[in-house]
Amino acid sequence: MAGAKRSFTREELESFRDAVVPDLLPAAGEPLRLLFVGINPGLWTAATSTHFAHPGNRFYPALLAGGVIEAPIDPAAGMTDADRDVLRSRGIGITNIVHRATARASELSREELRAGGEQLTTLVADRRPAVVAIAGITAYRTAFGRPKAVPGRQPEPLAAADLWVVPNPSGLNAHETVDTLAAAYAEVGRAAGVV
């Protein structure tokens, strides 16, 4: 239920294990300028059906600080339709490499990540975003067989999209701050023409 903060018991969250969160994409035929790609949904994300929803996740504060969005979005209780429309109207989409929810990304197998990379390539070829920003260098390396990849703009496109690897906004990624995330997200936002 959107609008009011919510909390979940561990048992409630566990009931969302392996659930799938639908992609957030502009309607077919509408421009998709910037596609953010998470590793996979966490249990809180699955419980609220909202990407990057955990209260400790810095994704939306970093988007705001980086100028990618112009008003705060608090997704912890689930995004409102108006919040989703703001992102879509700016040509911003969100998906994941792997679509099944887990408590931690480390629960995913290499095979799942590789298969997810193939599915992502198909989505990008179909929807043709200008820029794809994958949030997480380790998952990118595994999913795309690029063990030496470094964060930032990648030398080769993904299905004709400009490909970037940006820091993961999870609270578990302790060496990143809202400010460092905002700088990375602003960079991909400028590349996509949304900032």
pLDDT digits (tens, 9 = 90+) for 153-189: 999 999 999 999 999 998 777 789 999 999 999 999 9
Q: What's the average model confidence in pLDDT over 134-150?
A: 96
* Residues in the chain, total: 195
Alpha carbon 55 to its chain centroid, in Å, reads 15
Cα 86 from Cα 6, distance rounded (Å): 22
Domains in the chain: boundaries: 10-192
pLDDT of the residue at 44: 92
DSSP 73: -
The answer to whether residues 44 and 67 touch, using CB atoms and an 8 Å cutoff, is: no
pTM recorded for the entire structure: 0.93
- The CATH number of 10-192 is 3.40.470.10
Alpha carbon 8 to its chain centroid, in Å, reads 22
pLDDT of the residue at 126: 96
pLDDT of the residue at 112: 96
The answer to whether residues 87 and 95 touch, using CB atoms and an 8 Å cutoff, is: no
